[in-house]
Amino acid sequence: MRPEKVFKRYDIRGKYPEELDEEFAERLGKALGTFLAAKNQRRVAVCRDNKSSSHKLKEELIKGLKSVGVEVLDVGEGPTDYAAWCGRREGCVSVEVTSSHMPLDFNGFKFMYPEGNGFVNKDLYKVQDIFRNSEFRSGEGSIEERSLLKDYKEELKGFASDLANDFEKKVVVQPMGGTANILPKIMEDLGLEVVNISEEDYPYIDPPNPKTENLADLAEAVDNSGADLGIANDLDADRVTVYYKGRFLTGDEVFCILAQLVSGKVVASIDTSKALESFAEVNYTRVGDPFVMSKALEPGAEFAGEPNGHYSFTEFVAYNSGMLAALILSGLDLDERLEKIPDYFVKRAVVEAENRHDLVDVYASDLDEEKVISDLDGVKFERNGAEVLVRPSGSSQKIRVICESLEESVCEKVVEDVKDELSVLSRKS
């Protein structure tokens, strides 16, 4: 086994069973339990998604945890925010067996702290080192099987009802056969008329990723049924996508809609539209869930997210909940909220680059310092009245370019200019 292949920037994932199998899961349980024992933490809540390979992986993970003295709380099956919610309620680390929006031949694991937020890189690396070196402690653990799903659903409904009250609507949902398959019943309990177009009670759309190009069936169902809106979630329901009045809302639009519901600070990744600043004091972080949610735990932060469909109301749990976001969005007057969002044009582009980190560093060093807005993640700068973010991808050999301006033509030109400049630098390197 090669842990460096599957220990990623924010979680653990790989092809099943080629890169990650039951033996891997047992060893991972031992490594995690050993890591936690050094911190005097001996209890872990474990959950899984509803993919077939997740059943055995979860069993072996628990076996590994028990073998090093961990008291395991098996909370069953559910979304990742359910696992995080259980961990916070029980005051312990939680684990979700899932590959989230990845292709169906993948699987993986997400670790969350007792506060609910995902493990940061330094702790994942420590678990990886223990895994690689087989430096496992020994002990005799235990297991308790106890579902908290009923309480989780009730808290979801109560939280959503506190923020939204227009549930006399017809909503089309597409859970993609994933863990959001519990969402339709919760929606109906709130008074919504629900059309569930998911064909199965297990993952069947590959990949189970609610990108707009995968949701033609959702758009068609909304348009043909006269529904008010459509909602889609990924496999572990930590992302949400919304179809409304003939188009898919952007992640920035959804972020702005939800931000209008809070009075405290909002935490956002640096690639988020500045339109968000119209509704809250925004604290920016690097792109990536662990960075966003770690910042969101600071005093005064009520809401956090990224424009990729991740949103968290921290009072519910400091983890992205596509479930809660879906319920709230279904109960809002979306027209009223959308009208308040400033009209910014956003243009995104990708430049292939094997030496992406070095290239971005060189590019940033050539910029006029007075034009630089942020160096949190890559470099964000002003050009011709537009704001431009140039950052290395965290998962692939690419540089991501995002430009935002009040004028579409300015965005188009600036992005092309930046792409050309990066290409020139790449040829020189």
pLDDT digits 0-9 by tens, 232-287: 999 999 999 999 999 999 999 999 999 999 999 999 999 999 999 999 999 999 99
Average pLDDT of the segment spanning 160-173: 97
DSSP string, 347-374: EEEEEE-TTHHHHHHHHHHTS-GGGEEE
Cα distances from 250 to residues 96, 271, 346, 358, 423, in angstroms, run 28, 13, 10, 31, 29
Average pLDDT of the segment spanning 121-146: 95
Tell me the two tokens of residue 150: 């009923």
Helix axes 322-330, 149-163, angle to 10 degrees: 40
pLDDT tens figures, 67-78: 999 999 999 999
CA distance 384 to 412: 12
Q: Which residues pair with 68 in a beta bridge?
A: 139
pLDDT score at 74: 98
Tell me the two tokens of residue 102: 């990845």
Region of 384 (left: φ > 0; alpha: ψ -120 to 50; beta: rest) is: left
- Residue 428 pLDDT class (50, 70, 90 cuts): confident
pLDDT tens figures, 38-79: 999 999 999 999 999 999 999 999 999 999 999 999 999 999
pLDDT score at 427: 86
Question: For 254, which DSSP code?
Answer: H
Q: What percentage of the chain carries pLDDT values higher than 70? A: 100
CA distance 398 to 173: 33
Helix axes 322-330, 80-90, angle to 10 degrees: 110
- Taking every pair of Cα atoms in the chain, the longest distance, rounded to a whole number of angstroms, is 65
pLDDT tens figures, 96-131: 999 999 999 999 999 999 999 999 989 999 999 999
Whole-number mean pLDDT of the chain?
A: 95
Task: Tell me: pLDDT of 212 over 70.
Answer: yes
Q: What is the pTM of this model?
A: 0.95
Task: Tell me: pLDDT of 132 over 80.
Answer: yes
- Residue 1 pLDDT class (50, 70, 90 cuts): low
Residue 89: CB atoms within 10 Å: 18
Q: Which residues pair with 185 in a beta bridge?
A: none
Tell me the two tokens of residue 142: 């235990």
- What are the φ/ψ torsions at residue 353 (nearest 5 degrees)? -160, 115
DSSP H/E element including 404: strand 398-405
pLDDT score at 22: 97
pLDDT tens figures, 305-339: 999 999 999 999 999 999 999 999 999 999 999 99
235 CB-side CA count, 13 A: 27
pLDDT score at 306: 98
